[in-house]
Amino acid sequence: MIRFENVTKVLGNRAVLDGIDFEVGPGETFVIVGLSGAGKSVTLKHMIRLMQPDAGRIVIDGEDINQLGRNGLRQARAKFGVLFQGAALLQWMSVRDNVALPLREHTKLPDDEILRRVDQKLELLSLDDAGDKFPSDISGGMQKRAGLARAIIMDPQIVLYDEPTSGLDPVTSRRIDDLIVNMRERLGITSVVVTHDLHSALAIGSRIMMLHEGRIVENAPPEGFIRSKDPTVQSFLESQYITKKGKWEGMGHE
């Protein structure tokens, strides 16, 4: 579904992406981790051509996205929904109007049908009572859920999440994790998640890829990731108090 082939991107004389290769298959929850500046968000931006590589190809459903014209690019981007790091809700609009915005901008659906679809997504994300509220009136976790409702309102095949649990308390973070899993199980959505939160990555990921200094140092299922022999991976795990023992001990021994 998504394939990066020897992708390189140089910013400020530094290779933020240095010849990376990976694939994301249909229905996966593919998690990208790494230190700040490792190229995680840059990778997401390349998937929807907000940035273009200096070398290599990015293939979406068999098409090189960087070779598409305006109409082709619009069709390719329609396959994606995006949950931005800060939810990016418009503060002067109600939650319902925020979620409805993509339908109003990109379709000719009558308003009653738009509102029906919006209320359906709000119910799915347990926001039934929040539709008439403004973003400033709801919690950070509810704002993230409203942003997710807007990201899936056009029924995309793929959802990109940029630090979905950033700034949230642990309980709310785990609720967002559950929602991401729910999107995959109920709607069959392919997810690509950028996060610093390894507990989240291990809970939701079908595979976890770590970027370091522009290169991929690991790309494995969670049980393989925590057993990586790469010192950078092990240091990253230990920094969040994750070891092969304890909670994660049973991984890979089913």
- Residues 52-110 have pLDDT tens digits of 999 999 999 889 999 999 899 888 988 998 887 766 788 899 999 999 998 998 888 89
* pLDDT band at 253; cut points 50, 70, 90: very low
| Cβ contact 1:25 at 8 Å | yes
C-alpha to C-alpha distance for 134 and 93, rounded to whole angstroms = 6
Q: Given this model, what pLDDT does residue 45 score?
A: 92
Q: Given this model, what pLDDT does residue 38 score?
A: 81
Q: Given this model, what pLDDT does residue 83 score?
A: 83
Q: Given this model, what pLDDT does residue 60 score?
A: 93
First to last CA, the chain: 29
Mean pLDDT of 222-246: 81
C-alpha to C-alpha distance for 120 and 128, rounded to whole angstroms = 9
Residue 119 included in any domain? yes
Q: Given this model, what pLDDT does residue 244 score?
A: 57
pLDDT digits (tens, 9 = 90+) for 214-224: 999 999 999 99
Tell me the one-letter amino acid at 82: V
DSSP β-bridge partners for residue 5: 57
Number of domains in the chain: 1
Residue 249 has pLDDT above 90, yes or no: no
Residue 247 included in any domain? no
Mean pLDDT of 27-44: 89
Residue 107 included in any domain? yes
Residue 27 included in any domain? no
Helix axes 95-106, 111-124, angle to 10 degrees: 130
C-alpha to C-alpha distance for 86 and 10, rounded to whole angstroms = 26
Q: Given this model, what pLDDT does residue 194 score?
A: 93
C-alpha to C-alpha distance for 168 and 142, rounded to whole angstroms = 10
Domain that holds residue 128: 88-155
| Cβ contact 94:58 at 8 Å | no
Residue 252 has pLDDT above 80, yes or no: no
pLDDT digits (tens, 9 = 90+) for 118-150: 998 898 888 888 889 998 898 888 888 888 889
The pair of structure tokens assigned to 22 is 């990976």
Q: Given this model, what pLDDT does residue 254 score?
A: 38
Q: Given this model, what pLDDT does residue 141 score?
A: 81
Tell me the one-letter amino acid at 86: G
Q: Given this model, what pLDDT does residue 245 score?
A: 53
C-alpha to C-alpha distance for 152 and 149, rounded to whole angstroms = 5
pLDDT digits (tens, 9 = 90+) for 179-208: 888 878 887 889 999 998 888 899 899 999
Q: Given this model, what pLDDT does residue 52 score?
A: 93
